Amino acid sequence: MEEKKSSKSLMKRILGQKNDTASKKTDPKEPTEEPEAQASQQDTQMKTQEAKQNEPTDPKTATNTIFNVGRFFVKKMDFDATDALTVFNSKTKSSKEPEVKIEMNLKNTPMENDAFEVDLSIKATATLEGKPFYMGSVEQAGFFTAKNFNPQQLDFLLKSYCPNLLFPYARENMANVMQRSGFKPLELPPIDFGALYQKSLEENKNRDTH
């Protein structure tokens, strides 16, 4: 046994370090990772990375992204009370309060240099005992810059984050136009656009599966 060990040591010295390295690489006793395990690990890493990219992202915590809030402005404001005199006269004979129906619409328009215009429209239609009382509407708009967001994140920003910023201004403007028109200010309740956005995603998902 000692002679065999000496022969091996002598061969290593003659062949040099390269053959020794090659011997280590081809040593059958050295454990190697199975190809199936490597493929499974890579697939898991890719799915994890893709899931992280598709998650809705708060622009305040996102990395390698740019999100800026630009100017807010009233794009359109309207009020109509052409039948108010008739309703006022009938109201004195009725103790009922007007029934108010609220409609809301949201749209966004892409612009140059990763800029977007987001418009939040709110319309209030009031009736008293089936008769038109008034109609008031406000379209609140704002400019935003969103760069380096993936499609899912950008969709979340434009349909949830941005309208959440616009809504307080739209609510205040709606109350002002009502009061200045001689009517009781309309107090709109808070709206969680994040919850509405998640609900719409679930509805679309259920619709696609059926």
Could you give the domains of the chain? 67-184 (3.10.420.10)
Q: Does 11 score more than 80 pLDDT?
A: no
Q: Which of 58, 53, 208 has its CA nearest to residue 146?
A: 58
| Farthest CA pair distance, the chain | 121
Cα–Cα nearest to 57, from 161, 145, 143: 161
pLDDT tens-digit map of 87-118: 666 655 556 778 899 999 999 999 999 999 99
Above 90 in pLDDT, residue 51? no
Across the range 142-149, mean pLDDT stands at: 97
Closest to 122 in 3D by CA, of 162, 75, 85? 75
Average pLDDT over residues 48-69: 64
